Chain A
Amino acid sequence: MSSSRTDVLVDVTMPQMGVSVAEGTVVGWRVEPGDRIEAEATICEISTDKIDTEVPSPASGVVTEILVPVGETVDVGTVMARIAVGGGGGVAPAPSPPPDGDTVGPSTAETKSPPPAPSARNGNRRYSPVVQRIAAEHGIDLSQVPGTGRGGRVRKQDVLALVETEEPPLHIESPYRPEPPAPTPAPAPALAPIPGAGGELSRMRRQIGEHMKRSLETAATCTTWIEVDMSRVEAARARLGVTALAFVARASIDAIREHPPLNAWLEGERYTRHADVNLGIAVSLGDEGLIVPVIPRAHELSAEGLAARISDIARRARSRQLTPDDVQGGTFTITNPGQYGSIMATPIINQPQVAILDLEAVVKRPVVVTDADGNDSIAIRPMTILGLSWDHRALDGAQAARFLATIKRHLESVA
């Protein structure tokens, strides 16, 4: 038995999520055959190589079949499920299992109760503010922490216990660890895994890994650094109530205007310079990974405008509200992990762009300053080290250095 004669079947297809997305993976169904669903209600969750999102039902009706199982990747336009839209109104068309009064309810409820857990979600686990803060500070995946509170709740002491067993990282943000000394007499205790904190990488981690590896294999990556006196930026940002990142973004755009080769894509042999600056900003999603939403036509925005847009995309990234179009079309990227106090890094270029700028901590340092008469003295100045990773296939070191010097000049002359 399928649907009644008056029913019309409506296809649920893998949606076109932005121009560059060709395929998607089903990560979870919210319904199963026989369930009734309203138009626009979420029918399933999908994941593309750019973003995770929910698919709204195209019609109200009863789900007759599901064609793509969880975990399978299909092309855009592929029919994933069908919905019977009843012509007869009130009477719900009979779903494929025979309506057997008592058994239908419980059996569907039973099979539905454990939803296929997408790796990036915490299910029903909620964490207190202090637990989330400690986990974020120590890079702990809370879904792996056994809880001793009521109903298995993760308490402060549970996450602190894990922190104590960890070796203190030398560098919080970077995944790199110093090489252990060659003769390692007894490495075993240090390498003991945290119980229950291992397993297969999440989808997002795998994707980040693939992108980063591909970039390193593709580009001839070099990194150049420059020191910048941030006194004027610090004064201006305190006055305007915006972050230093917004000023660095604005200065980078100004520098790109003077050095257009930096605002380009290199795809194979094909090199394309862009007129618009579509600025990517790396946003950390905590334990899960990071994403690089893009501010299109960023060159039209002031530092304050950029600050507002950066804060908006970061908020939307963290609340999983980005659309695929928010994360594509970037022509230049800035990454800013300086909040933890690290001072230098060698960022990896976001392909197919040709450069990425790294802003780390702004730190007060003694520096030699020269007054108008040429007298030197030592002053305390808020300093930062800007790092630019650039693709030696598209650019040369002198261009990178000139570009950085231009950013420095703009930042040191902020009004």
Chain B
Amino acid sequence: MPTLTYLQAISAALRDELRADQRVLLMGEDIGVFGGAFKVTDGFVEEFGTDRVMDTPLAESGIIGTAIGAAVVGMRPVCEMQFSDFISCGFDQLVNVAGKMHYRQGLAVPITVRLPSGGGFSGGPFHSQNPEAWFMHSPGIKVVAPSTAEDAKGLLHSAIHDPNPVCYMEHKHLYRRVKGEVPSGVFETPFTARVARPGSDLVVIAYGAMVSVALEATEDLDGAAVEVLDLRSLVPLDEEAILDAVQRCSKVVIVDEANATCAAGAQVAALIAEKGFESLDGPVVRVATPDVPIPFSPPLEQAVLPGVDRVREACRELLAY
């Protein structure tokens, strides 16, 4: 199996889909001739042409709206939001048109919206957000967030094959930092959680970039056997895997890089309170970014984002409870 970075795995998935399925096409700002702001689609326009790798105007509403129309007539468009933050401009098309099309008119909208998200590189308030919870709250849209190279590829294949609109949260911080063996060719990763490391004393539930933070923070935690559960999919949320981990470990730390209020982790905490109550041996603890915009200043940004130290401290506290 080839070893790919997270970014190469995304590129490979897109390339494999374009080669395998004539209905697949890519749309986005500067994804063609320039090869994408992060070079995910570098060289694509040469292989697949401008009809299938389309540079668009700076208009997210137009990108998603066009993709919806193409999807309704049978195409499988993949839209790139240059930064996930910009999706607010396409919000109405995604939430009201794509998300509700099947409910209103019985039509499938098999679009995939790629959302390069997350902070950690001093991008400031417009280029660092984690907007996944906006879409979790809106019925009709699936939301996935890979943390490894293999899942980056497999989840993108699954997203493109899925008959529903799927928000694919790709974390910019992981693009070139995460590497791993990735199977060649088209394969699907299910929209379920994955045990990143088994354990029995405490479980850290995370997704996206926070999975590696959780693994590092709990690698050697005074001998405690700490499980790390990688959610991978936020909609649908793998309730069974979450409750199984809670039942075995009884203590839970939930990590979000997103702002704390109503984040994905808040939904996980609510689920545990409702259905995992009798398994708990301590309060459900959350570690998340406080409800502030992401600062430009590097030290300030590091202070607000959940890091290894904060996660480790939260786990220590809860283990001692």
Contacts and interface: CB of A to CB of B under 8 A. Distances in A.
A87 interface: no
Contacts of B281: 128-131, 155-156
B277 interface: yes
Interface string B136-160: 0000000000000000000000000
B69 interface: no
Interface in A140-186: 149-150, 153, 155-156
Question: Which of B250, B280, B320, B321 has the largest number of chain A CB atoms within 10 A?
Answer: B250
Interface in B262-317: 277-282
A156 B250 CA distance: 8
Contact of B280 (A130, A149, A150, A153): A130
Interface residues of A, number: 10
A315 interface: no
A133 B282 CA distance: 14
Contacts, number: 26
A145 B281 CA distance: 15
Q: Which of B277, B281, B320, B321 has the most CB of A within 10 A?
A: B281
A150 B318 CA distance: 10
Given A130-B280, A155-B281, A150 B320 contact: yes
A129 B278 contact: yes
A133 B278 contact: yes
B321 A149 contact: yes
A161 to B, nearest CB: 13
**List of 4 A-B pairs having minimum Cβ-Cβ separation, nearest first:** A156-B281, A128-B281, A130-B281, A129-B278
A141 B127 CA distance: 56
Contacts of B320: 149-150
B279 A129 contact: yes
A149 B282 CA distance: 10
B282 to A, nearest CB: 6
Which of A130, A149, A155 gathers the greatest number of chain B CB atoms within 10 Å? A130
Interface centre among B278, B279, B282 (most CB of A within 10 A): B282
B321 A155 contact: yes
A128 B282 CA distance: 6
A149 B281 CA distance: 11
Nearest to B201: A157
Given A128-B282, A129-B278, A155-B321, 9 more contacts: A129-B277, A129-B279, A129-B281, A130-B281, A149-B320, A150-B321, A155-B281, A156-B250, A156-B281
Nearest to A155: B281
A163 to B, nearest CB: 14
Nearest to A127: B281
B321 A130 contact: no
A130 B281 CA distance: 6
B280 A129 contact: yes
B223 to A, nearest CB: 13
Interface string B173-213: 00000000000000000000000000000000000000000
A211 B281 CA distance: 37
Nearest to A149: B321
Nearest to B320: A150
A53 to B, nearest CB: 29
6 contacts: A129-B277, A129-B281, A130-B278, A130-B279, A150-B321, A156-B250
Nearest to A153: B321
Contacts of A128: 250, 280-282
Contacts of B280: 128-130
B199 to A, nearest CB: 14
Which of A133, A150, A155: most chain B CB closer than 10 A? A155
A129 B272 CA distance: 12
Nearest to A158: B281
A129 B282 CA distance: 9
Contacts of A149: 320-321
A130 B282 CA distance: 9
A191 B266 CA distance: 49
B285 to A, nearest CB: 13
A314 B97 CA distance: 52
Nearest to A128: B281
Interface in A204-226: none
Nearest to B246: A130
Interface in A260-284: none
Interface in B215-239: none
Contacts of A130: 250, 278-281
A210 to B, nearest CB: 34
Contacts of B277: 129
B118 to A, nearest CB: 34
B269 to A, nearest CB: 15
A156 B279 CA distance: 10
A149 B320 CA distance: 6
A130 B321 CA distance: 14
Nearest to A132: B278
A220 B281 CA distance: 48
A131 B280 CA distance: 8
Interface string A68-106: 000000000000000000000000000000000000000
A129 B273 CA distance: 11
A385 B277 CA distance: 34
Nearest to B276: A129
A130 B320 CA distance: 16
Contacts of A153: 321
Contacts of A129: 277-281
Contacts of B321: 149-150, 153, 155
Contacts of B279: 129-130, 133
A275 to B, nearest CB: 44
A156 B282 CA distance: 9
Nearest to B283: A128
A212 to B, nearest CB: 31
Contacts of A155: 281, 321
A167 to B, nearest CB: 24
Contacts of A150: 320-321
Contacts of B250: 128, 130, 156
Contacts of A133: 278-279
A133 B246 CA distance: 14
A129 B277 CA distance: 7
A395 B241 CA distance: 57
A153 to B, nearest CB: 7
